[in-house]
Structure 1
Amino acid sequence: MRNSPAVREDTRGEVREAMAEIGYVYNRAAANMRMSNAGLIGLVINDLRNPFFAEFATSLQMALAEKGYSTVIANTDENAVLQDQVVNSIIEHGVSAFIISPAYGDTGATFDAIARAGIPAMQMLRQVDDRLGLFPFTAPDYVSGSEEATRHLIDMKARRVAFVGGLDGRAVTEERKAGYLSVLKEVGMEPLAITGKASRAFGREAAKRLIKEHPDVDAAICFNDLVALGMLSGCYETRRKVGQDFLIVGFDDIEDVAQTFPALSSVRCDIASIGAQAANTVVNWLENGQVPPPTSRTTVSLSIRQSSQSDAQEH
């Protein structure tokens, strides 16, 4: 009835036929009152404590504000049940669209509720729902990023490269690991993956574990920058000189990593550009009926700093 672009034409026709059969008359004045929050975007984030997601939410909110849209932001704290609650609450208050970086777990109820409400919704950074025609997905090109990082470490004469962090079976972990595995297969290097929580604490302990259990490993690609920052601490405690004895590359390139010592190399996902692109996409969907493609990937690059260069010179 609101001509939402998320509703298929055949479905719209069936609804209008049913309205005619029962004599239902659409009250547009009442509908306009219900839609008093038009121009409001629901932004649901899985973990705002993580600097990467906080930077993404900030850049997206600012980009939407420039286009005249307000946002209501909810943190789900990686809890699928809480995500379902906040999404339903936001639906009740009336929003024009959702942009969701979803929590893992049983998320079917969350996306079913959005579908029933006929509200356009995008999955960002993570894909948990396979209905990509209804909930398009956008994320950085994780695979190419880990490929470039692995090749860089090999070019820096690393004898054995480990992949550290990220929970097994998660799509993002497997994608970031896939590029690493493909390059190691090309060069005939034996892989080593130490997976676990994507946190500083895990990275710190992984650095200590590597020197005890795998002393031949002299470089690591980390699942994200938090793990990499933890590894910096772990290497300091074990008296390994990062950039000389041990090379590290993080992933995401959050703002803080350029300010560490040694400065941390990282796969740059260009968070600000992702936010701006997401804002453009959702506004075009709402204002021009331009439904996004089912899947899209943004380009990444490698920011090379002291942590992965034996000469400790940033460029």
Structure 2
Amino acid sequence: MPNKAKSVTIFDVAHHAGVSKSTVSLVLTHSNKVADKSKQKVLQAIEELGYVYNRDAAAMRSGRTNLVVVVIDDLTNPLMALLAKNIEQALSEAFFQAIIVSSNNSVERQTQLINNLKEYKVAAFIICPVENTCAQWLDNLTTAYPVISLMHEVAYSSAPCVLPDYTKASHLVTLQLINESPKNMLFIGDESLSAQALLSGFNSACQKHNITPEPAITCTKSTPLHAKQVFSNTLLNKPSIDAVVCANTVIAHGVLSAAPHLKNSIVSCLHIPDITEMQPRFTSANISTQELAKRSILVLQEQLQTHTAPVKTLVNVNLQIRETP
């Protein structure tokens, strides 16, 4: 056993545990490449010897810290706020420290935040990219840092992305609505980066049943009031519409307020949780923010350890059938 009068080193831990120095290093950096038996030996040796890992010194050697910047596009969105909470928890469990900031749906602010935070020698960036994010800018960032694009995929970017299966979400809710035998269906989308995938799922479900829907319309603002105005104007020209698939529950509430008679013929692709739980609740596809956070950290760890990661990781969604009172 080493002399406790001097500082315990990583070599002492390796000798005490009967493993190599590189194995101890992998355990200290929370690598998943170490067998459980070896990991337990190292952890036991650390405890018995009283070894303290100097993360600051390690950061100086590597040029990086254990800080991970999480850029959320809109923290006022309850779904994104919940996602931020779960990412922070998942990072903490993986021994990372999260810095959570909001770009407020601004490309300029998104760029400024990331440029400023580079000075802190961060380990990686997890970004919920805003609309009009430049693919080249994102790819340039990936050459210097591990980067994950979360919730949205930036077209033509090679950055790894983790996102819900939006196409499946809209496909499932549309099929559920088709079971009610509607005659004139409409899709109301938004201007999010997921809009095209949601529309694709809607169209595939309609094609499966040989249904020709009305041309899709778009809400430029994801608020109930705006959705109400948009759908009210649509009904003036298309009064025969008897079923509506909405991009999210916010739009669905606006549609319902414009056409209460369609209350049993409105579904939402994505359920957006809210503390007040707006009523009624629509049939929708539920997104697990915990699973999104978990998968993001797994992709991040793979990037840090192997410098490679899956280009796209789709997280499954589940249909939640609700009866509108």
Where on the TM-score scale, by shorter chain, does this alignment land: which range? 0.7 to 0.9
Counterpart selection for 1:165 from 181, 189, 195: 189
Distance in 2, Cα, partners of 1:87 & 1:205: 37
Counterpart selection for 1:274 from 276, 292, 303: 292
Map 1:157-306 to 2 at 5 A.
Answer: 157-167=181-191, 171-192=193-214, 193-197=216-220, 198-235=222-259, 239-240=260-261, 242-243=263-264, 247-256=265-274, 259-286=277-304, 288-289=305-306, 291-306=308-323
TM-score using structure 2 length: 0.74
Structure 1 residue 44: deviation in Å? 0.9
Unaligned runs of 5+ in 2: 1-55
**Map of 1:23 onto structure 2:** none
Structure 1 residue 180: deviation in Å? 0.9
Identify if the C-alpha distance between structure 1 residues 106 and 207 changes in structure 2 by more than 3 Å, giving closer, same or farther.
Answer: closer
**Map of 2:119 onto structure 1:** 92
Distance in 2, Cα, partners of 1:207 & 1:90: 42
Structure 1 residue 207: deviation in Å? 3.5
Deviations 1:122-170 (A, max 9, x none): 11111225342xx211211111211111111010222222111213xx6
Identify if the C-alpha distance between structure 1 residues 148 and 74 changes in structure 2 by more than 3 Å, giving closer, same or farther.
Answer: same
Distance in 2, Cα, partners of 1:86 & 1:73: 11
Distance in 2, Cα, partners of 1:34 & 1:114: 22
RMSD of aligned residue pairs (Cα, Å): 2.6
Aligned residue type for 2:85: T
Structure 1 residue 108: deviation in Å? 4.8
Distance in 1, Cα, partners of 2:276 & 2:269: 12
Distance in 2, Cα, partners of 1:291 & 1:45: 23
Aligned residue type for 1:178: S
**Map of 2:106 onto structure 1:** 79
TM-score using structure 1 length: 0.76
Aligned residue type for 1:86: L
* 8 Å Cα contact 1:84/1:109 also seen in 2: no
Pairing 1:128–2:159 present: no
The alignment covers a number of residue pairs equal to: 268
Distance in 1, Cα, partners of 2:194 & 2:64: 34
Distance in 1, Cα, partners of 2:119 & 2:258: 47
Counterpart selection for 1:46 from 73, 76, 97: 73
